[in-house]
Amino acid sequence: MSKVLVSNIGMLATPQGTGPKRGTEQGNIQILKDAWVLMEDGLISQVGAGPAPAAEQTIDAQGKLVTPGLVDAHTHLIFGGWRQNELGLKLHGKTYLEIQNAGGGIQSTTNATRAATEEELTAKAARALDEMLSLGVTTCEAKSGYGLATEHELKALRVIDNLNRRHPMDLVATFMGAHLVPAEYKADRAEYIRLVCEEMMPLVKEQGIAKFCDVFCEADTFTMEESRQVLEAGLKYGLRPKIHADEIEAIGGSQLAGEIGAISAEHLIVCPPEGIESLAKGGVVACLLPATSFYLGAVFAPARDMVSAGVPVAMASDFNPGSCPCLNLQFVINLGCLKYKLTPEEVLTAVTLNAACAIDMADRVGSIEPGKQGDLVIWDAPDLDYICYRMGSNLVQTVVKKGTVMG
């Protein structure tokens, strides 16, 4: 058995458990000083403070902060091209939905994604994963949703599946055929939804290449009833529901999330009080994406109200070429404190354990405890406050994934 010890940890900060943290529990994390973590065959076997046990390999944390590897629970990782041209349009006053309705937005990325080969998409996503890993992310969710045709949605999910085998990052796939009604179906929305539910989903299930189903429930995109139809069909094929809700307009997505028992609801920027209530009742994790609010120049989700209402809050990047061309969860950590007014402890839970719960991975990742994977970050920081306070630098010193130091 190969034993790897991380010694000389100045501050070890981690939430604990395998379930979502809500209310005051969200900020109730374990802090150990002068700590160590022992890993055996890639799994954490012991955590303690004071004198450390012996091991074949020792990683000296030099008195720095150690946290669990970050979990990015919401990314649109697989896409062709970029959309830098839309920045100028935005600066001239065009809104996100105006750009989308004029054939830009998701449709233009769909055209580029359809034109890209599986190899090209794999190489591009692998570069993004390398960057995420270097920024402290060790597990990430990835959605399809820029194929919007059977062949291309399956292509995107295969890319995720292959990367999960080849890349050190743990990946969890979400099928999002209902990201937008593509141009060729604009005159027959019902037919596109039928295609998603009756043609794509059975193949996704048969090939076993996605765990979740997501839908963009938004004005001019999918109505609440259409979203319900998609998520209920997903359930039939074993895909647990997720939902993009209340990103730009509140059209009932958060209420639907609670009713249908979604594992998570995403964005929730303009989530109304009845939406928060529904999330709390349904046990739904609120997966908040503050870098998207920042990039869209929008308001920020009512995170404090969610914590008060007992909704477990997770935070993720939403990395995508349109509304958030940013994959840096360290920036999300900053925004969690500055814009959501979450405490550093609540923020840490949001990007580790609660994020892991949002993608059903909390039995394996999201905290530093015996039995979980040896996924952790040694930060060039003396304590947790420091990584919440510093902005714009990569503060990662060393990433350890399944007990192995990443290059």
Q: Output the smallest distance, CB 321 to ligand NIG, in A.
A: 6
With binding defined as CB under 6 A, does residue 10 bind ligand NIG? Answer: no
Q: Output the smallest distance, CB 70 to Fe ion, in A.
A: 18
Among 68, 282, 290, 322, binds ligand NIG (CB under 6 A): 322
Q: Output the smallest distance, CB 253 to ligand NIG, in A.
A: 11
d(CA 138, CA 135): 9
Q: Output the smallest distance, CB 359 to ligand NIG, in A.
A: 15
- Could you give the string, one character per residue 270-309, with x where binding to ligand NIG holds by CB under 6 A and - elsewhere? ----------------------x-----------------
- The pair phi, psi for residue 401, each rounded to 5°, is -120, 125
Among 153, 226, 318, 346, binds Fe ion (CB under 5 A): 318
d(CA 81, CA 344): 35
With binding defined as CB under 6 A, does residue 107 bind ligand NIG? Answer: no
- The pair phi, psi for residue 87, each rounded to 5°, is -65, -45
Q: Which residue, among 155, 157, 160, has the nearest Cα to 129 in the 3D structure?
A: 160
DSSP-assigned letters across all residues of 104-157: -HHHHHHHHHHHS-HHHHHHHHHHHHHHHHHTTEEEEEEE--S--SHHHHHHHH
With binding defined as CB under 6 A, does residue 104 bind ligand NIG? Answer: no
Find the part of the chain contacting ligand NIG (CB under 6 A) among 20-28, 103-111, 269-277, 370-378: 103-111
With binding defined as CB under 6 A, does residue 222 bind ligand NIG? Answer: no
Find the part of the chain contacting ligand NIG (CB under 6 A) among 29-37, 54-62, 278-286, 315-323: 315-323
Q: Output the smallest distance, CB 108 to ligand NIG, in A.
A: 9
Are 192 and 181 within 8 A, CB to CB? yes
Partner from Fe ion, ligand NIG, none contacting 109, C-beta within 5 to 8 A by type: ligand NIG
**Separation in Å, CA 300 to CA 327, 339, 363, 383:** 18, 7, 30, 26
DSSP-derived 3-state class of residue 369: coil
Residue number with the shortest CB distance to Fe ion? 318
User: Cβ closer to Fe ion: 287 or 384?
Assistant: 287
Strands (E), 260-391: 264-267, 285-288, 313-315, 376-379
Q: Which residue, among 171, 173, 116, has the nearest Cα to 321 in the 3D structure?
A: 116
Please give the residue ranges that form the binding site for Fe ion (CB under 5 A).
Answer: 318
Please give the residue ranges that form the binding site for ligand NIG (CB under 6 A).
Answer: 76, 105-106, 109, 216, 244, 247, 292, 318, 320-323
